[in-house]
Amino acid sequence: MATRAPKQWQLSKNETITSIEAWKQNLAYTLLLDANFARYLIDDPTWERKTTARPLRGFTNDAGENRRTAAQKVAQLEVMLGQIANYCPFIARNTIVKNLLE
């Protein structure tokens, strides 16, 4: 029987190191279940801050059979960051989605 992670909860302003780590691990587990997000959580992923000059965050188009465009990668990353932002109500969404580095 497959086990499930506990339902993700929102962070509060009064977290402990232990509760933040539990929150982080639970969210990572949940995101790793989706192949579109997993690639941003494994193998030391990196991306740049989104700016007018760098709207693609440093991503490039893939080659090969399962290729994705840089724009697709940006879209998937920003959806994932948006999911993280949903559970951090006291941090501005733009800070997470637009400015968050690796």
Would you list the domain boundaries of the chain? 18-97
Query: Which residues have a Cβ under 8 Å from the Cβ of 21 and sit 6 or more positions away?
Result: none
Cα separation, 101 vs 93, in Å, equals 14
Kindly report, residue by residue over 27-70, the tens digit of the pLDDT: 999 999 999 999 898 878 889 988 899 999 999 999 988 899 99
pLDDT computed for residue 102 by the predictor = 46
Query: Per the confidence metrics, is the pTM higher than 0.75?
Result: yes
Cα separation, 96 vs 4, in Å, equals 26
